[in-house]
Structure 1
Amino acid sequence: MTTTPEPRAERLTAERLTSLAGELGDLLIDAVDDGASIGFLTGLDSDSAARWWRDRAPDVAAGRRATWAVREADRVTATVSLAFADKPNARHRAELVKLLVHREARGRGLGRALLALAEREAVRAGRTLLLLDTETDSPAETLYVSAGWTRVGVVPDHAADPAGVPRASTFFYKSLVQGPDGALDQVGRADRARRP
């Protein structure tokens, strides 16, 4: 069994995120220009993209968000974040957000490696359930399915693509429960409860 190599990803402090906001913004623009439905419309400018990242810094400082970045050749080529639920009844879960890989850095397993990194770090943070949503029939959906995430359902016209056209979103979850040997047991709690 082969394992995905862990990328040289840096967990960003609030200060480091702020200092890399321009590079992270460039990565965000690249994703939008490539048609990714990640909350922004075509025409996203550098100042707005960098400001969006700087606005995440208070959440990082407060521990409500964890963000990792891969830097190669003096630029950010990939990132992923976990948004931690802070309600008392939801502290076991987090949302996987903004898994982005620059078009020029794709095909080397960075997306899959960052996904695995985020899952491991969620476990280290005491989270046992991850959630996400992505555009239906997108390459990202294919990645999540192949990485063992479970589809919950599809919501039609949930979010507009960069051109402003409403598209369906697929919602996923992944249970991250450690087994007795310390390995991640990817079996959902509901499935576990039904076993004899």
Structure 2
Amino acid sequence: MISRLPEAFFDAALEDLSDILHRCVHTGSSIGFILPFSHEAALTYWRDRVRPGLRQGTLDLFVAYGDGRIQGTVQLIQATMPNQPHRADVAKLLVHPDARRRGLGRALMTALEARAVELEKSLLVLDTRSSDPSRVLYQSLGFQISGEIPNYCRNPFENRLEPTTYMFKDLSLLPVVKTVG
């Protein structure tokens, strides 16, 4: 089950979210963190970086539930500059390593896109380490590569720099779905 997590339920989800982030970093996911990465650092990220966006209404946090706990998450971050009301960023698509290859990433992205359309966003933007397998998922969902920046991010395990790929999806090209009733 995929749902948008309201801020009122954030504290109850914090441990699961932190566990997912911690495990994803330790399995090499390209999400901005490097080793060593503690569970406390994961808690701090969610409390200090994500919760304020939820509170301010500039961030939507989606979660995938399975086996009685959160198994995946993704964020839709609305652009805050006056010349970008049509745009939003996709951030931190995370699926617990034990729950991968079950379609959770795709389901999370589908829910995120539906919310973006509801918010009248016509452009989604994201970046991912060029070698990350998530790039294949994004392309299968209709994201296009806009470019690659060499030496953009540090490898989570080694002291070497890697390229990052920037991608976008033009939501204005999606078919309009009309509801009856």
**Common fold by TM > 0.5:** yes
2:34 paired with 1:20: no
Q: Percent of counterpart pairs with the same letter?
A: 35
| Aligned partner letter, 2:114 | R
| Aligned partner letter, 1:141 | R
Residue in structure 2 matched with residue 41 of structure 1 by the alignment: 34
Residue in structure 1 matched with residue 151 of structure 2 by the alignment: 157
Contact 1:21 1:51 in 2 (8 A): no
Contact 2:2 2:107 in 1 (8 A): no
Contact 1:37 1:160 in 2 (8 A): no
Residue in structure 2 matched with residue 192 of structure 1 by the alignment: none
Larger CA deviation: 173-182 vs 76-85: 173-182
Contact 1:136 1:170 in 2 (8 A): yes
How do residues 123-142 of structure 1 correspond to structure 2 at under 5 angstroms? 123-142=117-136
| Aligned partner letter, 2:135 | E
CA distance in 2, matches of 1:179, 1:98: 23
CA distance in 2, matches of 1:181, 1:49: 39
CA distance in 2, matches of 1:128, 1:46: 36
Contact 1:66 1:82 in 2 (8 A): yes
> For the structure 1 residues 78 and 94, does the alpha-carbon distance in structure 2 shift closer, same or farther, using more than 3 Å as the test?
same
Unaligned runs of at least 5 residues, structure 1? 1-7, 184-196
Aligned mate of 1:169, from 164, 168, 172:
164
Residue in structure 2 matched with residue 62 of structure 1 by the alignment: 56
Task: Please tell me the root mean square deviation across aligned C-alpha atoms, in Å.
Answer: 1.6
Normalising by structure 2, we get a TM-score of 0.91
Residue in structure 2 matched with residue 111 of structure 1 by the alignment: 105
| Aligned partner letter, 1:46 | H
Structure 1's consecutive aligned runs of 4 or more residues displaced over 6 angstroms after TM superposition are none
Contact 2:152 2:164 in 1 (8 A): yes
Contact 2:30 2:132 in 1 (8 A): no
Corresponding residue pairs, total: 176
| Aligned partner letter, 2:76 | L
Residue in structure 1 matched with residue 82 of structure 2 by the alignment: 88
> For the structure 1 residues 47 and 15, does the alpha-carbon distance in structure 2 shift closer, same or farther, using more than 3 Å as the test?
farther
Q: For residues 59-112 of structure 1, give each alpha carbon's deviation from its aligned partner in whole angstroms, at most 9, with x where no partner exists.
A: 111111000112222332100110100111101100000111111111111111
Unaligned runs of at least 5 residues, structure 2? none
Aligned mate of 2:44, from 51, 57, 65:
51
Q: For residues 120-142 of structure 1, give each alpha carbon's deviation from its aligned partner in whole angstroms, at most 9, with x where no partner exists.
A: 11000111100000010221111
